């Protein structure tokens, strides 16, 4: 399975992807915003992430989809975006993403999230998606708000960041299916603007 946008392919892991994952996740600026990514990040960590991803994709009953974000122009994996803790009874899930620092501020996560949110609401038939961010991760918070998520609360001292050892507060955001339908076209226009800027 894969999801495709103008600039990206979102797909399951391939064995060779560990090199690109290592390049992106070894940067402390990336790992310090993620709960379970160690620092320093080594080859064995990247290989484990790839293998774990492949195992989850082979399961018949999936509660987790992690898509590797491949840049079409260079056939390079620049990050990952996932759908986690899928609850088919309550029709909810959690989403999260990260991207290699070299590719920040190009609209790639925004573009990937349009495809992911469409998949969540249209294919998986879920009704609500949650996103969580460390209180210091302002970029992630702004991204959630841009996508139409509503801030729903704060979990105090919720997680110990593996990369830094610091105890972090987490801010919770939620997005309902009807809110995404209302907000989607605005986001698509924003993504198209990024395409045009890149072509100049």
**Hey, how many other C-beta atoms are within 10 angstroms of the C-beta on 117?**
23
Res 196 pLDDT > 70: yes
* pLDDT computed for residue 199 by the predictor: 72
Q: What is the mean pLDDT of the chain?
A: 95
What's the CA angle centered on 28, arms 154 and 37, to 5 degrees? 65
Closest C-alpha to 66, from 83, 49, 87, 45: 83
Instruction: State the pTM of this model.
Output: 0.93
Number of neighbouring beta carbons within 10 Å of residue 68 = 23
- CATH fold label, 3-199: Aminopeptidase (3.40.630)
Q: Are the C-beta atoms of residues 34 and 161 closer than 8 Å to each other?
A: yes
Whether residue 193 is predicted with pLDDT greater than 90 in this model: the reply is: no
Q: Longest Cα pair distance anywhere in the chain, in angstroms?
A: 47
pLDDT in tens, 73-112: 989 999 999 999 999 999 999 999 999 999 999 999 999 9
pLDDT at 61: 85
- Residue-wise pLDDT tens digits, 26-68: 999 999 999 999 999 999 999 999 999 999 999 888 889 999 9
Whole-angstrom distance, CA of residue 51 vs CA of residue 193: 36
Q: Would you state the pLDDT for residue 200?
A: 66
Domain positions in the chain are: 3-199
Residue 164 has pLDDT above 70, yes or no: yes
Angle at 7 between CA 127 and CA 191, to 5 degrees: 60
| Residue pair 79/99 in contact by the 8 Å Cβ criterion | yes
């Amino acid at each position: 399975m894969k999801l495709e946008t103008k600039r990206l392919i979102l797909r399951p892991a391939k064995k060779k992807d560990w090199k690109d994952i290592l390049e992106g996740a070894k940067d402390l600026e990336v790992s310090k915003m993620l709960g379970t990514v160690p620092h320093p990040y080594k080859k064995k960590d990247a290989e484990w992430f790839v293998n774990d991803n492949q195992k989850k994709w082979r399961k018949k009953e999936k509660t987790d989809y992690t898509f590797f974000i491949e840049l079409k122009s260079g056939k390079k994996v620049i990050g990952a975006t996932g759908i986690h803790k899928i609850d088919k009874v309550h029709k909810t899930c959690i989403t999260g993403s990260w991207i290699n620092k070299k590719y920040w501020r190009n609209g790639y996560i925004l573009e990937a999230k349009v495809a992911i949110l469409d998949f969540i609401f249209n294919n998986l038939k879920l009704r609500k998606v949650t996103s969580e961010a460390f209180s210091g991760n302002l970029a992630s918070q702004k991204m959630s708000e841009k996508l139409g998520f509503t801030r729903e609360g704060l979990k105090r001292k919720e997680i110990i960041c593996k990369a830094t050892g610091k105890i972090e507060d987490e801010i919770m955001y939620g997005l309902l299916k009807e809110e995404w339908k209302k907000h989607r076209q605005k986001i698509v226009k924003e993504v198209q603007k990024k395409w045009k800027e890149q072509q100049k």
